[in-house]
């Protein structure tokens, strides 16, 4: 016997369901658009795999990623060591699995510091203009005038080589790009008629910042953020490669490429696999970023909503 829905759920629950429906519907549409872009799906899967490896990699590693095992050094890829072993006989695959967490940590922390800082400063500069804008943007220009990696090297050298200091150094050089992005958007939005209209209705500067400027920046920020995730990981790896970031024996991918490069001809797998790993992760985040950009475009969304609805009705009628 079928139990009617009204007996299963309280009326309050159904009311909440009804109210949330527009929101859940929008999310459904977002995923629909994302799902229907092949490359975004591939990128998303790579990024997801990377995240899972970062979370559970050290548990999955078949060998100890840190302790040396001298008899097994320079083993080429084989069944027991799928990606070979390094100078100390450590399994490259185990080290890569265990090392993913450092890369993702670097990416997340750097962006968690740099993005809010840049967004806030850029928003203030663009909205208020005048001397505030001048001061903030000239500082930004100073940062952007240096090659960012060189500047980050200088900072991390000054702070002392460690992965944590490398993250701080990268945060310091990473915010100006976001400040630029948001300021440009703020300048454009500030001049629009709807901001003028909002002002004519008595909106304060902060209201305009949070209701008009930031929402308008949200999708470019989100896209840049996803694209940048890959680049921050590369930059962190580069710093480690140059010896400023992760110190041995931490299995950081950039460090592994660096350690392997003198044995390039004898044991190519030592550098090539971590390098490929970095390439793959950057590629994944880039593809995902592109996909997100497409799925957030409101006009594109409405176009796909039509096909989405049609598909849903046809699938429910065949049930």
Helix, strand or coil for residue 12?
helix
Q: How far is the CB of 199 from other proteins (least distance, A)?
A: 6
Q: Least distance to other proteins from the beta carbon of 200, Å?
A: 4
CB of 197 to other proteins, least distance (A): 4
Q: Which two tokens stand for residue 68?
A: 């040396």
Task: Report, in Å, the least distance between residue 21 CB and other proteins.
Answer: 11
Compute the CA torsion angle 130, 131, 132, 138 (nearest 10 deg). Answer: 110
Q: What is the distance between the alpha carbons of residues 293 and 299, in angstroms, rounded to a whole number?
A: 12
Pick the piece of the chain touching other proteins (CB under 8 A) from 149-157, 210-218, 229-237, 273-281.
210-218
Report whether 86 contacts 267 (CB < 8 A).
Answer: yes
102: Cβ contacts below 8 Å, ≥ 6 apart:
163, 236, 246, 250, 251, 252, 253
Q: Does residue 207 bind other proteins (CB under 8 A)? A: yes
Using CB under 8 A as the binding rule, the residues of this chain from 254 to 273 that contact other proteins are none
Sole binder of other proteins in the list 2, 18, 138, 299 (CB under 8 A):
299
Q: Nearest distance from residue 265's CB to other proteins, in Å?
A: 56
| Residue 160 contacts other proteins per CB under 8 A | no
Report which DSSP code applies to 123.
Answer: H
Nearest distance, CB of residue 186 and other proteins, angstroms: 14
Minimal CA–CA distance to 176: which of 212, 202, 141, 132? 141
Could you say which DSSP state residue 85 is in?
A: B
Tell me if 192 contacts other proteins by CB under 8 A.
Answer: yes
Determine contact, residues 57/304, Cβ cutoff 8 Å: no
Single out the segment in contact with other proteins by CB under 8 A; choices: 77-85, 168-176, 209-217, 244-252.
209-217
Residue of 4, 6, 12, 22 that binds other proteins (CB under 8 A)? 22
Joined together, the tokens standing for residue 272 give 């090539």
For other proteins, the closer CB: 263 or 308: 308
Q: Does 200 bind other proteins (CB under 8 A)?
A: yes
Beta carbon of residue 36, minimum distance to other proteins (angstroms, whole number): 21
Q: How many CB atoms lie within 10 A of CB 93?
A: 22
A 10 A CB-CB count for 244 gives 25
Q: Does 298 bind other proteins (CB under 8 A)?
A: yes
199 binds other proteins (CB under 8 A): yes
Q: According to the binding rule CB under 8 A, does residue 131 interact with other proteins? A: no
Using CB under 8 A as the binding rule, whether residue 5 contacts other proteins is answered as: no
The C-alpha angle with vertex 240 and arms to 237 and 244, in degrees rounded to 5, equals 140
Stretch that binds other proteins, among 107-115, 147-155, 208-216, 244-252 (CB under 8 A): 208-216
Instruction: Give how many residues touch other proteins by CB under 8 A.
Output: 22
Query: Does residue 17 belong to the site contacting other proteins (CB under 8 A)?
Result: no
**Contact residue for other proteins among 204, 247, 307, 313 (CB under 8 A):** 204
Question: Do residues 251 and 124 touch, judged by C-beta distance below 8 A?
Answer: no
Pick the closest to residue 95 from 282, 87, 229 (CA basis). 87
For 112, other C-beta atoms within 10 Å of its C-beta total 12
Instruction: Indicate whether 67 belongs to the interface with other proteins (CB under 8 A).
Output: no
Which residues of the chain form contacts with other proteins (CB under 8 A)?
22, 129, 192-194, 196-204, 207, 211-212, 215-216, 298-299, 302
């Amino acid at each position: 016997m079928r139990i009617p829905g009204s007996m299963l759920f309280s009326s309050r629950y159904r009311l909440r369901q009804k109210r949330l429906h527009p929101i859940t519907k929008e999310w459904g549409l977002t995923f629909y658009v994302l799902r229907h872009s092949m490359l975004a799906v591939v990128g998303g899967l790579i990024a997801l795999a990377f995240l899972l490896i970062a979370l559970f990699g050290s548990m999955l590693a078949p060998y100890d990623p840190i302790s040396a095992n001298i008899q097994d050094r320079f083993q080429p890829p084989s069944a027991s060591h799928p990606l070979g072993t390094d100078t100390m006989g450590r399994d490259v695959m185990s080290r890569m699995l265990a090392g993913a967490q450092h890369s993702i940590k670097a990416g997340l922390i750097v962006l968690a510091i740099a993005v809010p800082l840049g967004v806030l400063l850029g928003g203030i500069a663009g909205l208020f203009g005048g001397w505030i804008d001048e001061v903030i943007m000239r500082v930004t220009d100073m940062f952007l005038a240096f090659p960012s990696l060189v500047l980050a090297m200088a900072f991390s050298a000054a702070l002392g080589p460690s992965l944590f200091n490398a993250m701080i150094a990268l945060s310091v050089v990473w915010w100006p790009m976001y400040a630029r992005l948001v300021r440009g958007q703020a300048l454009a939005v500030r001049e629009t008629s709807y901001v003028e209209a909002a002002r004519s209705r008595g909106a304060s500067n902060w209201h305009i910042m949070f209701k008009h400027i930031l929402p308008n920046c949200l999708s470019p920020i989100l896209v840049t953020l996803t694209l940048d995730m890959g680049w921050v990981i590369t930059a962190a790896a580069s710093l480690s490669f140059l010896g400023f970031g992760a110190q041995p024996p931490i299995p950081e991918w950039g460090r592994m490429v660096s350690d392997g490069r003198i044995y390039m001809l004898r044991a190519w797998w030592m550098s090539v696999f971590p390098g490929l790993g970095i390439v793959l992760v950057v590629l994944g985040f880039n593809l995902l970023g592109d996909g997100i950009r497409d799925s957030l475009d409101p006009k594109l969304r409405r176009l796909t909503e039509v096909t989405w609805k049609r598909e849903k009705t046809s699938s429910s009628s065949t049930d």
